[in-house]
Amino acid sequence: MKSVRFRFAGLIAGFAALSFLAVAAGAAPAKNSAPAPAPANANKPAQPSETKEFGDWSVRCYPATSATPCEMIELLVNKKSGRRVLGVLLVYNQARNQNLLQIAVPLGVMLQNGAVLGSDTYTSGVMHFRLCDMQGCYVVAPLDNDAVKAIGQATKAEVRIVSTEGKNFNITFSLNGFTAAYNALLDLTRQKSPAAPSTEQSH
């Protein structure tokens, strides 16, 4: 989990704090606009060693040895301000055979309501916020293979949140390229992550 928190800390360092008015103004997928994730205390952001684009999704891998060396990510930006209003990121841990979903939303959310990922083929349970900082609030939750498959078959998806004023907001994001990006994420992670520890005992 340490490596995932490292990657997530980099993601939240790149998000600007936004009001819900900015969210409501509309957003669009960001293209080649986001710096690579990096630890919050790093002087210089880590740069990906490999980046591939699949529709509105990007797959990025980093040179550091990690259980999750690669990520697939979609960033939404406000069309007028150019600021990010949503980040949806997925990593795959080969050793645990586990997907982890990471979502960043603006400040001003009702924390106890959590966030829900919904589509026309899949709806998550309530995902609790892991932390908030000056840039926003963040969810980290496992996402099983059936859920990933269902999302890949959907035509639309959204993150549902509630503001501190009690207003419901559904932030829609694109699934264009999702399945191709996920397949690339699996392949690249298997190539670049450390081998899983052997369960065989030596004689």
Least confident of 26-30, 122-126, 180-184: 26-30
Query: 183 exposed, middle or buried (CB, 10 Å; 0-12, 13-18, 19+)?
Result: middle
Q: What CATH number corresponds to the domain at position 139?
A: 2.60.40.1880
Query: Containing domain of residue 85, as a range?
Result: 2-192
- Give pLDDT tens digits for 103-118: 999 889 999 999 999 9
What is the average per-residue pLDDT within 196-200?
45
Task: Say what the pTM is.
Answer: 0.74
- Give pLDDT tens digits for 126-170: 999 999 988 789 999 999 999 999 999 998 899 999 999 999 999
Q: Do the domain assignments include residue 200? A: no
Q: Do the domain assignments include residue 202? A: no
Q: Do the domain assignments include residue 50? A: yes
Q: Do the domain assignments include residue 98? A: yes
d(CA 93, CA 88): 17
26 closest CA partner among 171, 174, 175, 138: 171
Q: Do the domain assignments include residue 59? A: yes
d(CA 198, CA 174): 39
* Structural domains counted in the chain: 1
Q: Do the domain assignments include residue 85? A: yes
Is 89 within 8 Å of 102 (Cβ atoms)? yes
Q: Do the domain assignments include residue 145? A: yes
Q: Do the domain assignments include residue 97? A: yes
